[in-house]
Amino acid sequence: MILVIAEQKDGRLNRASWEAVAAAQQLAGGQVPVKVAVMGSGVAVAAGELAQAAVAEVVAVDAEALGTYTPDGFVQAAAALIAQQAPQYVLLAHTYQTRDFVPTLAARLDRALITDVIAIRQADGQAAFARPMFQGKLVADVVPQGPAPHLVTVQIGAFRADAVQKGQAPVAAAGITVDAAAIRQRPEAPFQEAKQAVDLSQAERIVAVGRGIKAQENVAVAEQLAQAFGAELAASRPICDNGWLPMERQIGSSGQTVAPKLYVAVGISGAIQHLVGMKGSRTIVAINKDAEAPIFEIADYGLVGDLFELAPALIAELKK
């Protein structure tokens, strides 16, 4: 059995959980049952949503002590859940929360953890999990060894949420109790850098601006293009390093990983560290004056030309 641990916050499912379900269904190949668990306090609605997937069961791990996320609480609950369900694989989306507690969980269980998986292949009849290494320069196929369960986190955007096979699954309560006294952390309200802190991983459309924009005052051009598309504004690293846009808008290996329906790269060359953060986007449009820029290798639509001519023309068309 393959167990997906979905993520919710205040009862709302993280969209990336669907991607983990899609990955699990692919791994199962219709041969192995898939179950989805969701942990928290008051998870009935999230569990009901997950029940629309073609899975064997949705398991609700509902405990008051899980109301506020803590690594101790989630490790405790997940360890009990895994002991109860005895899965072969445990899949999670590679979110900040997953990164926070799953390494501890793997250490607690003394089991292998393969992170940041971008594809699942078959190698000699065994599942191999592809993950980027060395800033995306290499992709390694990793086959877990040792006893089950193997823990796997899937990179955001690597699997398609809309590829999830739909169905009707029963919801069961796990009946797991969490010992609140064993939780050492007393979290304060989550840190928010900016008032309108943006979670680009949830954005449907993104316009990203790169060094081709040349000067801070020109960022307004990209901003107007983003507005015209109804998109979030993002950037390559030099733009954020220069302080022209906040760090939270950086896309790439040291920024956010995103998979919007539309990604418009404006004056971005397409360095590998940028590509690993956005190549899962459904439709990629690149505007660059250099026809040889690597961004065009992954772009669905390429506009070769000066962004200072093309962006205003696009804005004018979009406004029509």
Ligand X SMILES: Cc1cc2nc3c(=O)[nH]c(=O)nc-3n(C[C@H](O)[C@H](O)[C@H](O)COP(=O)(O)OP(=O)(O)OC[C@H]3O[C@@H](n4cnc5c(N)ncnc54)[C@H](O)[C@@H]3O)c2cc1C
Residues engaged in binding ligand X (CB under 6 A): 135, 210-212, 236-238, 250-255, 267-269, 271, 273-274, 277, 287-290, 293, 306-308
Q: How far is the CB of 265 from ligand X (least distance, A)?
A: 8
Helices 96-109 and 71-85, axial angle in degrees (round to 10)? 60
Q: How far is the CB of 259 from ligand X (least distance, A)?
A: 15
**125 vs 243 by CB, closer to ligand X:** 243
| Strand ranges in 146-203 using DSSP code E only, listed in sequence order | 150-154, 171-173
**8 vs 288 by CB, closer to ligand X:** 288
**12 vs 214 by CB, closer to ligand X:** 214
Q: Is omega for the bond preceding 190 within 30 degrees of 0, making it cis?
A: no
Q: How far is the CB of 294 from ligand X (least distance, A)?
A: 8
The helix (H) or strand (E) run that includes residue 67 is none
Q: How far is the CB of 155 from ligand X (least distance, A)?
A: 14
Q: How far is the CB of 132 from ligand X (least distance, A)?
A: 12
What is the token pair recorded at 194? 């900016």
- Per DSSP, the three-state class of 6 is strand
- For residue 97, how far is the Cα from the chain centroid? 11
- Per DSSP, the three-state class of 50 is helix
Categorise residue 38: left if φ over 0, alpha if ψ from -120 to 50, beta otherwise: beta
In the block, which residue shows the tokens 């990164």?
99
**60 vs 251 by CB, closer to ligand X:** 251
Nearest-CB residue for ligand X: 252
How far apart (Å, rounded) are the C-alpha atoms in residues 205 and 221?
A: 17
**25 vs 224 by CB, closer to ligand X:** 224
